[in-house]
A and B are shown apart, each in its own frame.
Chain A
Amino acid sequence: MNRIDLLFKEKKNNILSIYYTAGYPGLGDTVAIAEALQESGADMLEIGFPYSDPVADGPVIQATSKQALDNGMDLNLLFEQLKQLRKKVTIPVLLMGYVNPVLQYGVENFCKACADAGIDGCIVPDLPMYEYEELYQGVFLKYGLRNIFLVTPQTSDERIRKIDGLSDGFIYLLSASATTGKNLNVSDVTTTYFSRVAAMELKNPTLIGFGISSKETFEKACKYANGGIIGTAFVKAVAKGDLKENISSFMKMFR
């Protein structure tokens, strides 16, 4: 069974998923970070493969992406690291990144390499629904990969239904229309939107991401969805110093 499906089958709330950029801060840190995160209670990992022009990202993740590229990270190396990672890590792992590196790798090659490396799903924010449905869904399904779509406060109910129909795994609810790294301020607008989506009783579970950086914001996410995703706050925390120590003290905020 796909590990994402298994996770959501077994756990209905308080799910904590952590994003980090492969090859950051050091080229070889990808596996060690995953191990430490699993040890300290993360339920799922989203590993970013770096891209030169990450338009959906704020300055912090842009900088990690740039450093990872400067360190020499690319998809070939990442897939090698992931094979090592899977020897030690049993929680679900997704790859997150932009569509152009995937197109250059070849979509079928990419999906096959994901399956071989034990990847459970992908988040490719600039791969549109129409292109996914027309061209790539078959390939994703063939290799057992879950493709995760984003939803924002501006996404219409009709479109959310369509996304729900096309998704498996879970749906990624953005707390706001924003680039990564903006602070979540839970206003009436956000709670109305979270409640609106919750009331739609989608077939897929949901996780809330963008702007979760503290115990309070994580708890809010858990109130309206099956859990939360933390990215910017985590990569900031591992930028300097001892990786293992930083990760365990960061995770103590939530676990």
Chain B
Amino acid sequence: MNYFVNEKGYYGDFGGAYIPEMLYPNVEELRQNYLKIINDADFQKEFHALLKDYVGRPSPLYLAKRLSKKYNAHIFLKREDLNHTGAHKINNTIGQILLAEKLGKKRIIAETGAGQHGVATATVCALRGLECVIYMGEVDIQRQAPNVARMKMLGATVISAVSGSKTLKDATNEAMRDWINNPVDTHYIIGSVVGPHPYPDMVSIFQSVISEETKKQLMEQTGSDQPDYVLACVGGGSNAMGMFYHFIGDENVKLIAVEAAGKGVSSGFSAATTFLGKEGVLHGSRSILMQTADGQVVEPHSVSAGLDYPGIGPQHAHLFKTTRAQYASITDEESLEAGLLCTQMEGIIPAIESAHALAYLEKMEFTGNENVVVCLSGRGDKDMQTYMNYFGF
């Protein structure tokens, strides 16, 4: 079974480039060049130097002793929260900004939900001196004010997306419209493994550093690079894809992707795409998305803005359909409780997105010997207001 992209841009039934003709030249330029550029030795050198000296990689693989004891397994946390800007998102933006430079682009646009990808994009634009425009839903601008301020301080222009539900999906629409209207000098840094081919593949390659490091670290710490389980949360699915990437071929490693159930899968306020969605096309690729019988995209809900998205990347749809990975879901409350637990047992405040992956440990049964890796995709600083409101701190 091939779990990676084929030469037509598909993962099994999913993927492709469902874009209007206006986007074709830009997407085609990327498609023709991305592998050549990424595989170039100089590019690799510069990319890895920045990941090391600027982002602070490798991120630690930390054996969480008290959580391990509680769950009766060896729980390892992959500490993407310790990256510069506080999440895995920067791995991708470093890669894409270097690629945009090679393509001679002068202007960068991006969408953001929680603001983490917006901050990571504004950061690399400041680093390289490129113009930066970030689209963010009006609703998210209100609930993520500190990140909006960070983007502005970094020199980005933040444009409020006022169409539709005014959240991540609509910010993505607005970014695509901007790209249509600026067809020559602009590069669109998509923040997850979504969008038309080659984005899902390109973003997963940049994020694959997560599992590449994890394998080495596991080997050093446990004597084997094969854990029993690997867990990650899924919004669009980039931290999960990065965390799964080098384990996909290891069929004995169980991959678990955790979606946001919101107020409950059947509550009408959920973002559990594989449970609620059907096959279709969203933001340029064929995948699974939440939609009505008439094919209108349904508004998702999650307490975590980063998981508040009605689709998943096409490779996830393929991993789901082939059952190579298992897809589970966690409610708002379960994630917040898991965030508190991790904080008080390990002294690590996780992003609420990442807390969804942690929360799934509660639902698993272990015999004491299993090695389990959880991707701690980001830190919880941005979520303090939500934690405060829920726990009354």
Contact = CB atoms under 8 A, between A and B. Distances in A.
The answer to whether A and B come from one shared complex is yes
B181 A182 contact: yes
Contact of B18 (A75, A128, A155): A128
B177 A126 contact: no
B180 A131 contact: no
Given A62-B163, A104-B278, A130-B8, A178 B18 contact: no
Contacts of B194: none
B19 to A, nearest CB: 6
A195 interface: no
A226 interface: no
Interface string B370-389: 00000000000000000000
Interface in B140-194: 163-164, 169-170, 173, 176-177, 180-181, 183-184
B296 A152 contact: no
B316 to A, nearest CB: 18
A177 B180 contact: yes
A52 interface: yes
B230 interface: no
A103 B14 CA distance: 13
A152 B291 contact: no
Contacts of B16: 128, 130-131
Contacts of A57: 177
Contact of B21 (A58, A59, A152): A152
Contact of B20 (A76, A105, A126): A126
Interface in A67-89: 69, 74-76
A154 B295 contact: no
Interface stretch (A24-32, A94-102, A197-205): A94-102
Contact of B19 (A69, A126, A177): A126
A234 B343 CA distance: 58
Given A58-B177, A104-B278, A177-B181, A51 B21 contact: no
Nearest to A154: B25
A100 B281 contact: yes
B127 interface: no
B296 A177 contact: no
Interface string B4-45: 000010000000111111101100000000000000000000
A125 interface: yes
Given A104-B278, A178-B181, A127 B18 contact: yes
B24 A51 contact: no
A69 B17 CA distance: 26
A128 B22 CA distance: 11
B294 interface: yes
Interface centre among A101, A126, A150 (most CB of B within 10 A): A126
B358 interface: no
A102 B295 contact: yes
Given A52-B164, A177-B183, A99 B20 contact: no
B177 A100 contact: no
A128 to B, nearest CB: 6
Contacts of B173: 53-55
Nearest to A177: B183
Interface in A90-118: 98-105
A174 interface: yes
B63 to A, nearest CB: 44
Contact of B22 (A69, A105, A178): A178
Contacts of A76: 294
A195 B180 CA distance: 22
Contacts of B278: 104
B284 interface: yes
A6 interface: no
Contacts of A131: 16, 18
Contacts of A105: 294-295
Contacts of A103: 279-281, 295
Contacts of B25: 152, 154-156
B297 interface: yes
A104 B295 contact: yes
A74 B294 contact: yes
14 contacts: A51-B295, A52-B164, A53-B169, A55-B173, A58-B177, A101-B295, A101-B296, A103-B280, A104-B291, A125-B21, A131-B16, A154-B24, A155-B21, A182-B181
Complex A-B, nearest 6 residue pairs according to Cβ-Cβ distance, in ascending order: A104-B295, A101-B295, A125-B20, A177-B183, A150-B21, A52-B296
Interface of A: 51-59, 62, 66, 69, 74-76, 98-105, 125-128, 130-131, 149-152, 154-156, 159, 174, 177-179, 182
Interface of B: 8, 16-22, 24-25, 163-164, 169-170, 173, 176-177, 180-181, 183-184, 278-284, 289, 291, 293-297
Given A100-B280, A154-B22, A179-B180, 18 more contacts: A52-B296, A66-B163, A66-B164, A74-B294, A98-B281, A100-B289, A103-B280, A104-B278, A125-B20, A126-B19, A126-B20, A128-B18, A150-B20, A152-B183, A155-B21, A155-B24, A174-B22, A177-B183
